[in-house]
Amino acid sequence: MSTHGDVLVERRGSIMLLTLNRPERHNAIGGTMLQELAAAFTEAANDDSVHVVVTAATGASFCVGADAADLGDMGETGARELLSGTELGGKKGLPQLTAYERDLDDLGNAGRWTDLMWRLEKPTIAAVNGAAVGGGFGIALLHDLRVASQQARLGAGFAPLGLAPELGISLLLPRLVGLSAASDLLYTGRVVGADEALSLGLVNEVAPEDTLLDRTLELADRVAAMPPMGLRATKRLLRRSMTSLMAEQLRAEHATHLVLFDHPETHAALGRLAERLTR
């Protein structure tokens, strides 16, 4: 278990629990937070004993996005240098770009980091306490499921700053809440409470603050108990569905089942079901 740093890492059986740990900055994105999240997600991807990743946070906020201290120090830095450099958001845990690569970079650090998080083919759950705004909203949306405390507040918050969404928010949000609701949230920059977030589909469940982590871990335990190969295949299909046509998706589903129906985990799970049904 990592007991210090900007992200605490703990193993609870087949669950990897990550805790954002910059409470004095309301868990603003900075320091080594993104670097340590990237390292943890990479570790989870490479460790077959990790079935589910849960991200929680210390203090009163989940993550308030960019650190105001960094934004105040931008000075005359050009946009390309700012978005592909190291000044904004702290260390990212990304390979350094050469001068040519930086000039041709069409993702920026935020996009490159998001792509790394997005590629994890294991279920992820965010326990959202307090504010999840700006980049923190993006981090929450990058998880497959979200459990919010009754004190949670979620929103993009880019519009009042003259900015547009990042971290994949422009793709994920309309798929969660629909185009009209996403337009409302992005154009106005408004922040919604837990109950509205639940009604919109931004979160899957609302729990009391003092039981938030326990409830999230209960959900993680339920997911982690499923045969892991099937979970990974399901997540891969869900990711493909966001860009695939129906015919392509049907082919992908068929190819997936060609693997799963020959897999011993699937045989064992189907055997247990048959045994229950024949008792």
pLDDT 10s digits, 199-256: 999 999 999 999 999 999 999 999 999 999 999 999 999 999 988 787 887 888 788 8
pLDDT at 55 over 70: yes
pLDDT for position 20: 98
- pLDDT tens digits for 108-132? 888 889 999 999 999 999 999 999 9
251 & 214 share domain: no
Q: Are residues 235 and 199 both part of a single domain?
A: no
- 161 and 115, same domain (yes or no): yes
Say how many CA atoms lie within 13 Å of 244 toward its Cβ: 14
* Domain at 134, CATH number: 3.90.226.10
The region of weakest confidence among 70-74, 104-108, 190-194, 217-221 is 70-74
Q: What is the predicted pLDDT for the residue at 73?
A: 58
Q: How confident is the model at residue 86 (pLDDT cuts 50, 70, 90)?
A: low
What is residue 259's predicted lDDT score, i.e. its pLDDT? 87
Spatial CA neighbour of 163 closest among 139, 184, 191, 187: 187
Total residues belonging to the chain: 279
Say whether pLDDT at 76 is over 80.
Answer: no
Query: Are 129 and 251 within one domain?
Result: no
Domain that holds residue 36: 7-224
- 3-state DSSP call for residue 201? coil
Check pLDDT > 60 for residue 186.
yes
- The answer to whether residue 27 sits within a structural domain is yes
Helix (H/G/I), strand (E/B), else coil: 172 = helix
Question: Residue 32 and residue 22: Cα distance in Å, rounded?
Answer: 10
Q: Are 142 and 117 in contact (CB under 8 A)?
A: yes
Give yes or no: residues 103 and 51 share one domain.
Answer: yes
Domain-embedded: residue 86:
yes
Whole-number percent of the chain with pLDDT over 90: 64
261 pLDDT band, cuts 50/70/90, is confident
List Cβ neighbours of 240 (8 Å cut-off, separation of 6 or more).
248, 249, 252
- pLDDT for the residue numbered 87: 65
Q: What is the pLDDT of residue 170?
A: 92
Q: How is residue 53 written in tokens?
A: 């990743």
The verdict on 199 and 259 lying in the same domain is no
pLDDT for 91-103, tens place per residue? 888 888 888 887 7
pLDDT of residue 105: 80
> Which helix (H) or strand (E) is 117 found in, with range?
helix 108-118
Closest CA to 37 of 9, 70, 63: 9
121 and 192, same domain (yes or no): yes
Q: Do 51 and 121 form a contact (C-beta atoms < 8 A)? A: no
70 plus 145 within the same structural domain: yes
In a domain, 153, yes or no: yes
**What integer pLDDT is reported at residue 18 of this predicted model?**
98
Is 38 part of any domain?
Answer: yes
218 and 260 assigned to the same domain: no
Contact yes or no for 137/169 (Cβ under 8 A): yes
- Better pLDDT: 260 or 120: 120
Q: How confident is the model at residue 88 (pLDDT cuts 50, 70, 90)?
A: confident
Q: What angle do CA 111, 113, 119 make, to 5 degrees?
A: 100
Q: Terminus-to-terminus CA distance in the chain, angstroms?
A: 43
Predicted confidence at residue 64, as pLDDT, reads 95
pLDDT band (50, 70, 90) for residue 48: very high
> What pTM was estimated for this model as a whole?
0.90
Beta bridge partners of 52: 15
Whether the pLDDT of residue 17 is over 80: the answer is yes
247 and 179 in a single domain? The answer is no
pLDDT at 63: 97
Question: What are residue 8's DSSP bridge partners?
Answer: 19
pLDDT at 74 over 60: no
- Considering 224, 240, 265, which residue would you say is the last residue of a domain? 224
Both 142 and 272 in one domain: the answer is no
- Predicted local confidence at residue 34, as pLDDT: 94
Structural domain contains residue 203: yes
Query: What pLDDT, on the 0 to 100 scale, is given for residue 40?
Result: 97
Mean pLDDT of all residues in the chain? Answer: 90
Residue 1 domain flag: no
- Determine, yes or no, domain membership for 28: yes
Total domains present in the chain: 2
> Contact 227/268 with Cβ under 8 angstroms?
yes
Is the dihedral angle over the CA atoms 206, 207, 209, 211 positive or is it negative?
A: negative
Indicate the pLDDT class of residue 61, thresholds 50, 70 and 90. Answer: very high
Structure tokens at 249: 């998706």
Q: Is residue 2 part of a domain?
A: no
Domain boundary among 200, 224, 248: 224
Same domain? 202 vs 256: no
